[in-house]
Amino acid sequence: MMIAVNLRPGLKRKRAGSPLAGVLAGVKAFGSKVKDPALLVAVAAWLGVAGWLGFTWLTNTTELKALEPQLEQTRAEHKRFKTFLDQKRKQEQIRDSLLTQIITIRSVDGDRYVWPHVLDEVTRALPAYTWLVDMSPVAAPPPPPATAAQAKDKDKKAQPVDSAPKSLSFQVNGRTVDIQAYTRFLRNLEASPWISDVQPVSAQTIVEQERAVTAFTIRARFKQADSAYIKTVPLSQSVR
């Protein structure tokens, strides 16, 4: 326990003032010393800028801390989608490679079975008392020249590779002893799903082996039939 001894009993002890009162007194003394108003305005402005910068820094720091979880979530989503896109790109490369191989195989094999189809359909359409002399391909007429607009569009976009069998025009020369068989042969060819554009070229009576027959010439075009008319059979079948 401390004992305070007043060595000057004639004077009263001053009460301790508050720190705020001292600060206010210092501000008043500074204001009485500074007589230039411009200096006071400059000091007030600097204090305002410093306060605004402090408030802005505090606000930005708070917002940054609030956005950090969203940033981590966005990074995780970006990583996940990047992995997904890499896998998708790899699958597309495999698909493009397979499509290229399929198109190459079809371009090689596309015309291999055209003539068997033509011969099969012509044989099926051939009526009785009618026979064929020869059958040969016919050059297709050249396509009409493209206009300037079509040529411009063709340059802008690449044409897709057509893997379907090309159209084949052919001519059939035959003989018949019955003119009605000739007309029936035309109708049968027109009914075939593999043959189109059947056109009779000529039909005249000639003498062969001392017998009058009708010599005819027919032109037609092979076309790819609908998938409903295509039948597949196994290449090999076991026989018991």
pLDDT of residue 155: 52
- In a domain, residue 156? The reply is no
Contact 178, 203 (CB under 8 A): no
Residue 152: inside a domain: no
Shared-domain flag, residues 128 and 220: yes
Q: How confident is the model at residue 74, as a pLDDT? A: 87
Angstrom distance (rounded) from CA 90 to CA 14: 89
**103 shares its domain with 194:** no
* Residue 56 resides in a domain: yes
In terms of domains, do 198 and 106 share one?
A: no
Taking 70 as the pLDDT cut, the residues of the chain under it are 1-37, 40, 108-111, 140-166, 227-240
On whether both 85 and 123 belong to a single domain, the answer is no
**Residues 89 and 124 both lie in one domain:** no
Q: Are residues 120 and 208 in the same domain?
A: yes
Record the tokens describing residue 178, joined without a space.
């019955």
Per-residue pLDDT, 159: 46
Residue 56 tokens read as 């802005």
199 lies in the same domain as 123: yes
Q: Do 118 and 217 belong together in one domain?
A: yes
Statement to judge: residues 37 and 70 lie in one domain: yes
CA–CA dist 5, 2 (Å, integer): 10
- List residues bridging with 204 in a β-sheet: 215
Task: Examine the fold and report which residue of 110, 128, 159 is the final residue of a domain before the chain moves on.
Answer: 110
For 15-53, the pLDDT digits (tens) are 555 555 665 666 566 556 556 667 767 777 888 888 888
The answer to whether residue 43 sits within a structural domain is yes
pLDDT at 91: 93
Domain containing 32 equals 24-110
Q: Sign (positive/negative) of CA torsion 222, 226, 227, 229?
A: negative
Backbone angles phi, psi at 10, to 5 degrees: -80, -15
Query: Burial level of 174, CB count in 10 A (0-12/13-18/19+)?
Result: buried
Last-in-domain residue among 70, 89, 110:
110
- Same structural domain, 118 and 95: no
- Tell me the CATH number at 120: 3.30.70.60
Q: Identify whether 160 is part of a domain.
A: no
Bridge partners for 131 per DSSP: 175
Are residues 125 and 192 in contact, defined by beta-carbon separation less than 8 angstroms? Answer: yes
Within a domain: residue 197? Answer: yes
Assess contact for 162 and 193: CB atoms under 8 A: no
Identify whether 134 is part of a domain. Answer: yes
My answer on whether 196 and 173 are in the same domain is yes
* CB distance 188 to 168 below 8 Å: no
Decide: 202 and 219 in contact? Cβ < 8 Å. Answer: no
* Count of the separate structural domains present in the chain: 2
Residue 239 lies in a domain: no
Among 126, 125, 120, smallest CA distance to 230 is for: 120
User: Which pLDDT does position 12 carry in this prediction?
Assistant: 53
Count other Cβ atoms within 10 Å, centred on residue 142: 6
One domain for residues 33 and 52: yes
